[in-house]
Structures are given as C-alpha cells and as structure tokens.
C-alpha cells in the first residue's frame, strides 16, 4: 500500500530544514547502505549523531505525531530516527529492496522495517529528475511531492530514485516497524478506518453504524497487532 501524506511539515518547517541542510557537511550516502545497495547508491547523506541530524530528526518525528493520516496508514510501533540525503546532478539510487532489520546507531535496539518513508524537503520545481519509483502490484508508481509532503510504502517493495539532472533533491528517509506486520492487513485496516470516517461524516449523530464498524476495526487490530 502506497499512501501520499500531505503536510508532515509545514511550508515554513520544510523551508527551515532545507536551509539548514544546505549549509551542512555531507558524507557518502553508502555509509548506511547494505552490501548490494551500496553498488547502486550514488548520493550524499548527513552524518548520523550530529546535532543537526538530531534536531531535524526531532522536527520530522514531531510532524509525524501530528499526522492522523500517517498514523492510520502505518500504525507505527517504532520509528527509525530519520536520516537525510541529497541527490545532485548525475546522482541516483538504483533498484533495491531495503534491509529487513536496521540497527539504531549508538543503541542496542533494532527495528524490523515494515514500511519505508520518504519526506520531500526540496520544492519539486527546484530540480529535474529525482522521482522515487516504487514497484507494486499495479506497476510502477512515480512519486515527486511538494516540500513537507511524504510517501509511505511497503519496505518489501523494489524501488529506485531516478537520476537528478538539474538542481538538488533533499529528503528525509526512514523506516517504521508497524504494529501490523502484514501489508494486506494494514491495507484492510486503513481502508476500514477511512470508511468509518466517511460514514461518520454522512450519518446523523448517534447513528449506530459507525460505532459498530469501529468495534470491528479495534477487534481486528487487537487480533493482529504485535506490540512487544
């Protein structure tokens, strides 16, 4: 399930993050790549653990916490601390699948990467190319979003970043361990949640339908969720 999520960051927050990153030192993006990904990864990255990395990571996490759509689509249990990358002209990331397990730097903690997320920080008119291309059951989905908007998709997906041909593309990227491991179950719960919101808005107050459907939602969540 691929879901585009608007306004994880406000335009002002996205602009401040972009400006801070423009003045930051960058390292080779292969520092966080697996063995096979390193062969097709050609970008730059902010070093983990720096003050800027932590401050901007907290900014992104705050935005995620405000987004009801993100929570509904992902049902997060743990979120990997956001990373930040840049693609200059000629840079790209070839087709790959994200590592199944990620170690959180400086801690003994690991997360299972159920869902991948890219949060765009550069306005799309400021660069050419750089589309995120995700393979799913309906073919290729090409994603290039306004600054502050994000896309989430199964980490099992084969995906790539097209070469940038003008300007620079700056983004945050990270992974989520969901309470719901299975993508089809997450999709069903998301669709049910959106349907509940729709009928609640259309039916008169006190109607029993939304209450009954909400009970079904929570009983399915109770049956499927992993929270340990």
Numbered residues of the known binding site: 96, 98, 159, 169
Q: Which residues are annotated as a binding site for 2-oxoglutarate?
A: 169
Rounded Cα–Cα distance for residues 34 and 28 (Å): 13
Give one word for 169, left, alpha or beta, with left for phi > 0 and alpha for psi -120 to 50: beta
Q: Rounded to the nearest 5°, which phi and psi values hold at 98?
A: -65, 150
Rounded Cα–Cα distance for residues 197 and 194 (Å): 5
The tally of CA atoms less than 13 A away on the side-chain side of residue 180 is 23
Helix (H, G, I), strand (E, B) or coil at 193: helix
Rounded Cα–Cα distance for residues 75 and 90 (Å): 36
At residue 180's C-alpha, the angle toward residues 175 and 183, to 5°, is 75
Helices (H), 39-166: 51-66, 68-74
Rounded Cα–Cα distance for residues 49 and 113 (Å): 20
Q: Which residues are annotated as a binding site for Fe cation?
A: 96, 98, 159
């Amino acid at each position: 399930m691929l879901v585009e999520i608007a306004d994880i960051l406000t335009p002002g927050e996205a602009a401040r993050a972009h400006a801070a990153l423009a003045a930051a030192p960058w390292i080779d993006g292969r520092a966080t790549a697996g063995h096979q990904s390193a062969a097709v990864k050609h970008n730059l990255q902010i070093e983990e653990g720096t003050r800027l990395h932590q401050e901007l990571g907290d900014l992104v996490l705050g935005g995620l916490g405000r987004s009801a759509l993100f929570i509904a689509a992902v049902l997060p249990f743990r979120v990997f601390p956001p990373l930040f990358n840049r693609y200059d002209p000629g840079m790209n990331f070839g087709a790959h699948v994200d590592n199944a397990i990620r170690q959180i730097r400086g801690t003994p903690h690991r997360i299972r990467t159920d869902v991948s997320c890219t949060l765009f920080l550069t306005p799309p008119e400021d660069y050419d190319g750089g589309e995120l291309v995700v393979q799913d059951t309906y073919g290729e989905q090409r994603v290039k979003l306004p600054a502050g908007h994000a896309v989430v998709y199964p980490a099992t997906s084969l995906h790539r970043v097209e070469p940038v041909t003008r300007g620079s593309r700056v983004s945050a990227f990270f992974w989520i361990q969901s309470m719901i491991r299975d993508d089809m179950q997450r999709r069903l719960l998301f669709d049910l949640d959106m349907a509940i919101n729709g009928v609640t808005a259309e039916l008169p107050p006190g109607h029993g339908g939304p209450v009954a459907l909400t009970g079904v939602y929570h009983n399915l969540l109770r049956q499927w969720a992993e929270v340990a």
